[in-house]
């Protein structure tokens, strides 16, 4: 037998193996954990719902389902905490579809009040499983006054009045006077009385004065009515940053040019900039605007010019500390540029112009340029530049190179430099207005052009503050449902980052209450998270010691409250009914759990059989080895026992 089996195995026989694996079907219990459910439902009812869901889960498991209990965030949760600041029913159902793609789903049980305040309506989507719904909450139409929305500018300028519009939704108080007040620091700034008539939406306009700098809080409060039950939606808060004034950008040119329009379009898009144009004999500005102390950035287009129309203004700014952006073209006086210590030198005075195209320098570190802008710039049409060898200081940072035909050269087209802590931008280009038109013809927008030149103007007009200690919130605004994140950076004498410093952080809220924190920064971990902050403006003071000297940074940030769930507490059972009907499920009330349980037991828990088929050599099977071993051992034992050799 042994010899036969060995001879047979030497032929390399192959056997087909089939393995069957049964995958249980899923059943998902999805419980709405939003604030609106907690506000409109009695705690005893919520506890009873949780007990009923636990019993239902055990029944479905016994029936053969794999049961998952989730909240609206998609997280597994046995004990639901009703603290979700918003309800996105469609988004959660879509997550379930994606998570269990390819897996059999027997159904989804949605326990909700039917209120959604973010995302799409669940009625306008298709799901590949039946949705059974249980309605919780109160469907009674209540008399209510809701501050639905506040419309205002995030930035206002000190000393100016700014518009603030409140949209008030009135339910059940038609043809009654509604009193709406605007408050700051508990003081009433304006009060408006309006009668909505038969219209439910009331619009109230305010015009407060921005008197103090910084982030200012303005509260809109609607006077409550006697029979009004939900008072949490009677007010809303607006936070406005009041700044000293706009940055002034001066553009000086000897004559009109399409390039000026391209630059002006970029500057006018930023509400923080005030554009000033000076063209001698064409459009002249006031003398006070031509002083270096009066502007934040001076742009000189082909100035100083050969006819000396703008030479005096250029010399005045060249000898000052005001940042400059100089565009060199055919009308530029290159001799005067060299005399004024500009970061540009020609080996020989150029006598002709050359056509070149732009190439973005990926190593530029002054600011980030998006990949889309980088790609579009390579397709822009040529501009005219002075022909000849150009020399720039080694300290310059190149933003754009020159490309001749398909050959990218190392010649500079646009670069920045800092001379005696004064920022200077230089550009060798005449006709770059074509870039903006070319982009619009291809994409129907000018985002790439506006991005590069907008960031360049912002970079040049912003003064550098070389601190050895920096500490700041990563965002100027956080919601009260998320953590506020601070980042701290410490530098040595040559501005290399160092680690190991202890950072002391002190927060002060609007009532003057202080909160103290302390943490140590390390490489790869320079951030600190603070949770549980309430709505309001917080002022922070961050400090550390560098070589025995205390360094300190101060600032402020904002925490806003999420009140979307408190806007509407009237449950929408009709939406749940329609959702169940459209997906093949059914709607149940809270007191119909037994009927729900009986209906779900009728669902057959049909699993999916997955068959794995593979071919394997008999030599790889372990039982063949043991069979051969038994045969050999048996023969050896019998020979020994009977005395055979």
Residues 186 and 287 in one domain: no
Instruction: Read off the tokens for 205.
Output: 């306009």
Mean pLDDT value of segment 416-435? 91
Name the least confident of 34-38, 120-124, 347-351, 511-515.
Answer: 347-351
Query: Tell me, what's the pLDDT at 76?
Result: 83
Q: Is the pLDDT of residue 103 over 70?
A: yes
Instruction: Read off the tokens for 183.
Output: 């408050």
Query: Tell me, what's the pLDDT at 495?
Result: 67
Residues 329 and 454 in one domain: yes
Q: What percent of the chain has pLDDT over 70?
A: 98
Question: Highest mean pLDDT: which of 3-7, 8-12, 579-583?
Answer: 579-583
Q: Where are the alpha helices (DSSP H) in 480-621?
A: 573-583, 593-601
Q: Going by C-beta distance under 8 Å and a sequence separation of 6 or more, which residues neighbour residue 66? A: 24, 25, 26, 27
Q: Is the pLDDT of residue 129 over 80?
A: yes
**E strands along 32-73, which residues?**
66-71
Whether residue 84 lies inside any domain: the answer is yes
Residues 287 and 361 in one domain: yes
Residues 287 and 213 in one domain: no
Tokens 């719902």 belong to which residue?
A: 49
Contact call for residues 419 and 319 (beta carbons, < 8 A): no
Q: What percent of the chain has pLDDT over 90?
A: 36
Give the domain CATH number at 402: 3.40.50
Using DSSP, state whether 336 is helix, strand or coil. helix
Whether residue 609 lies inside any domain: the answer is no
Tokens 């009004």 belong to which residue?
A: 228
Parent domain of 178: 144-243
Residues 367 and 449 in one domain: yes
Q: Is the pLDDT of residue 224 over 70?
A: yes
Rounded distance between C-alpha atoms, residue 170 and residue 148, angstroms: 10
Instruction: Read off the tokens for 477.
Output: 């605004």
Whether residue 357 lies inside any domain: the answer is yes
Q: Is the pLDDT of residue 82 over 90?
A: no
Q: Is the pLDDT of residue 56 over 70?
A: yes
Query: Tell me, what's the pLDDT at 464?
Result: 64
Mean pLDDT value of segment 152-171? 85
Q: Is the pLDDT of residue 108 over 70?
A: yes
Contact call for residues 195 and 219 (beta carbons, < 8 A): no
Rounded distance between C-alpha atoms, residue 286 and residue 134, angstroms: 71
Residues 32 and 84 in one domain: yes
Peptide bond into 304 cis (omega under 30): yes
Rounded distance between C-alpha atoms, residue 312 and residue 314, angstroms: 5
> H or E element: which one contains 632?
helix 622-642
Closest Cα to residue 36, out of 142, 187, 149?
142
Residues 278 and 315 in one domain: yes
Residues 45 and 122 in one domain: yes
Find residue 28's DSSP bridge partners.
68, 108
Chosen domain end from 404, 427, 461: 461
Query: Tell me, what's the pLDDT at 280?
Result: 93
- Total residues found in the chain within this entry: 645
Top-confidence residue, 568 or 394: 394
Residues 443 and 407 in one domain: yes
Domain count, the chain: 5
Query: Tell me, what's the pLDDT at 408?
Result: 86
Chosen domain end from 434, 461, 488: 461
Whether residue 608 lies inside any domain: the answer is no
pLDDT one-digit tens code per residue, 605-614: 777 777 778 8
Top-confidence residue, 244 or 112: 112
Closest Cα to residue 96, out of 197, 193, 28?
28
Query: Tell me, what's the pLDDT at 159?
Result: 79
Whether residue 607 lies inside any domain: the answer is no
Whether residue 615 lies inside any domain: the answer is no
Residues 14 and 110 in one domain: no
> 10 Å Cβ neighbour count for 487?
14
Rounded distance between C-alpha atoms, residue 344 and residue 337, angstroms: 8
**Dihedral of alpha carbons 442, 448, 450, 453, sign:** negative
Mean pLDDT value of segment 531-558? 90
Whether residue 423 lies inside any domain: the answer is yes
**Average pLDDT of the chain?**
87
Name the least confident of 166-170, 343-347, 426-430.
Answer: 343-347
Closest Cα to residue 293, out of 257, 327, 330, 248?
248
Residues 315 and 457 in one domain: yes
Closest Cα to residue 416, out of 464, 351, 353, 348?
464
Question: Highest mean pLDDT: which of 134-138, 221-225, 381-385?
Answer: 381-385
Contact call for residues 559 and 533 (beta carbons, < 8 A): yes
Top-confidence residue, 191 or 18: 191
pLDDT one-digit tens code per residue, 486-529: 989 888 776 678 889 999 999 999 889 999 999 999 887 888 99
Confidence of residue 645 (pLDDT cuts 50, 70, 90): low
Chosen domain end from 427, 461, 495: 461
Query: Tell me, what's the pLDDT at 262?
Result: 95
pLDDT one-digit tens code per residue, 437-483: 999 999 889 999 999 999 999 889 877 656 788 888 888 788 887 78
Query: Tell me, what's the pLDDT at 465?
Result: 58
Mean pLDDT value of segment 408-430? 90
Rounded distance between C-alpha atoms, residue 224 and residue 359, angstroms: 63
Whether residue 53 lies inside any domain: the answer is yes
Mean pLDDT value of segment 549-567? 81
Mean pLDDT value of segment 229-256? 85
Residues 311 and 447 in one domain: yes
pLDDT one-digit tens code per residue, 305-316: 999 999 999 999
Q: How far is CA 181 from the centre of its chain?
A: 33
Q: How far is CA 152 from the centre of its chain?
A: 21
Rounded distance between C-alpha atoms, residue 254 and residue 249, angstroms: 17
Mean pLDDT value of segment 156-185? 86
């Amino acid at each position: 037998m042994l010899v036969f089996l060995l001879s047979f195995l030497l032929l390399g026989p192959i056997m087909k193996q089939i393995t069957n694996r049964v995958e249980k079907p899923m059943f998902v219990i999805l419980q709405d954990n939003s604030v609106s459910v907690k506000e409109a439902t009695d705690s005893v009812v919520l506890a009873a719902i949780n007990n009923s869901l636990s019993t239902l889960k055990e029944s479905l498991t016994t029936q053969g389902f794999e049961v998952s209990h989730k909240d609206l965030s998609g997280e597994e949760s046995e004990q639901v905490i009703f603290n979700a600041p918003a309800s996105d029913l469609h988004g959660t159902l879509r997550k379930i579809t994606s998570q269990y793609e390819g897996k059999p789903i027997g159904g989804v049980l949605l326990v909700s009040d039917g209120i959604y305040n973010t995302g799409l309506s669940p009625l306008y989507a298709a799901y590949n499983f039946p949705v059974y719904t249980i309605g919780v909450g109160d469907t009674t139409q209540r008399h209510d006054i809701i501050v639905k929305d506040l419309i205002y500018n995030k930035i206002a300028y000190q000393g100016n009045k700014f518009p603030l519009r409140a949209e008030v939704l009135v339910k059940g108080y038609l043809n009654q006077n509604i009193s709406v007040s605007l408050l700051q620091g508990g003081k009433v700034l304006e009060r408006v009385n309006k009668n909505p008539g038969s219209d439910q939406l009331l619009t109230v306009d305010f015009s407060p004065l921005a008197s103090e700098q910084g982030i200012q809080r303005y509260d809109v409060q609607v006077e409550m009515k006697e029979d009004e039950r939900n008072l949490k939606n009677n007010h809303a808060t607006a936070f406005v940053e009041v700044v000293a004034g706009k940055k002034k950008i001066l553009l000086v040119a000897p004559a009109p040019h399409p390039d000026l329009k391209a630059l002006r379009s970029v500057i006018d898009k930023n509400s923080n900039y005030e554009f000033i144009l000076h063209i001698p004999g064409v459009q002249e500005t006031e003398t006070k605007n031509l002083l270096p102390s009066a502007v934040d950035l001076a742009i000189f287009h082909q100035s100083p010019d050969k006819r000396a129309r703008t030479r005096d203004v250029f010399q005045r700014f060249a000898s000052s500390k005001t940042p400059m952006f100089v565009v060199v073209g055919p009308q530029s006086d290159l001799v005067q540029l060299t005399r004024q210590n500009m970061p540009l030198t020609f080996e020989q005075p150029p006598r002709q112009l050359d056509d070149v195209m732009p190439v973005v320098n990926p190593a530029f570190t002054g600011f980030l340029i998006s990949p889309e802008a980088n790609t579009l710039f390579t397709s822009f049409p040529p501009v005219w530049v002075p022909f000849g060898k150009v020399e720039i200081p080694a300290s310059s940072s190149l933003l754009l190179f020159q490309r001749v035909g398909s050959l990218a050269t190392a010649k500079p087209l646009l670069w920045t430099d800092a001379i005696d802590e004064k920022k200077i931008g230089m550009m060798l280009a005449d006709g770059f207005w074509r870039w903006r038109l070319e982009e619009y013809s291809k994409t129907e927008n000018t985002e790439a052009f506006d991005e590069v030149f907008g960031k360049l103007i912002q970079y040049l007009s912003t003064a550098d503050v070389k601190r050895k200690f920096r500490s700041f919130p990563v965002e100027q605004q956080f919601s009260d449902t998320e953590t506020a994140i601070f980042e701290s950076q410490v530098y040595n004498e040559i501005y290399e980052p160092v680690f190991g410093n202890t950072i002391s952080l002190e927060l002060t809220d609007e009532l003057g209450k202080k909160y103290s924190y302390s943490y140590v920064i390390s490489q790869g971990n320079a951030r600190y998270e603070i949770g549980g902050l309430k709505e309001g403006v917080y002022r922070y003071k961050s400090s550390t010691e560098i070589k025995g000297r205390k360094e300190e940074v101060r600032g402020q940030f904002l925490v806003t409250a999420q009140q979307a769930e408190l806007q509407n507490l009237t449950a929408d059972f009709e939406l749940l009914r329609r959702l169940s009907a459209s997906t093949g499920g059914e709607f149940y009330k809270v007191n119909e759990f037994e009927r729900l349980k009986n209906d779900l037991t009728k669902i057959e828990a049909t699993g999916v059989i997955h068959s794995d088929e593979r071919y394997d050599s008999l030599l790889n099977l372990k039982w063949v080895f043991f069979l051969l071993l038994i045969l050999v051992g048996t023969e050896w034992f019998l020979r020994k026992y009977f005395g055979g050799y």
